[in-house]
Amino acid sequence: MQQLRAFTYLAVFSAFIFVAPAMANQSLFVFIPHADSPGNDYSKIKHSSFEECQTSCETDTACNAFTYNQAQNVCFLKRAASQWTTFYAWGITGIKLSPLAPSE
């Protein structure tokens, strides 16, 4: 039963996950709308926009993920995404992908 529940969550979130380029020649993020990745916060930025939150994470080498609270306009920079992602209607979680190494 637990495996079925985990698969259902994965299937639901897979339908909503999308990848978008952050900026040219920079890292990419995987965005999970309506999601919170609890824990691993090291910085909280109040009165920010989603774009400011994303840029803050892009430019901070310690940041590997962020959750943006749309209702409160608060950004949570994270050292890592949690293994558990929970539904949160006003949240967007971005997970930084490693840049691709150039092929030789």
Which of the pair, 57 or 24, is modelled with greater confidence? Answer: 57
Over residues 68-103, the pLDDT tens digits come to 999 999 999 999 999 888 999 999 999 999 765 555
Q: Which H helix or E strand runs over 7? A: helix 2-16
Give the pLDDT confidence score for residue 83 in this predicted structure.
Answer: 85
Give the pLDDT confidence score for residue 103 in this predicted structure.
Answer: 57
Per-residue three-class SS string for 30-60: EEEEEEECCCCEEEEECCCCHHHHHHHHHHC
**Domains of the chain (ranges, CATH numbers):** 29-96 (3.50.4.10)
The pLDDT of residue 8 is above 70:
no
The stretch 24-37 carries a mean pLDDT of 81
- The pTM for the full model equals 0.71
Give the pLDDT confidence score for residue 92 in this predicted structure.
Answer: 96
Give the pLDDT confidence score for residue 101 in this predicted structure.
Answer: 56
Give the pLDDT confidence score for residue 9 in this predicted structure.
Answer: 44
Q: What are phi and psi of 63, to 5 degrees?
A: -90, 125
Whether 80 contacts 65, CB under 8 Å: yes
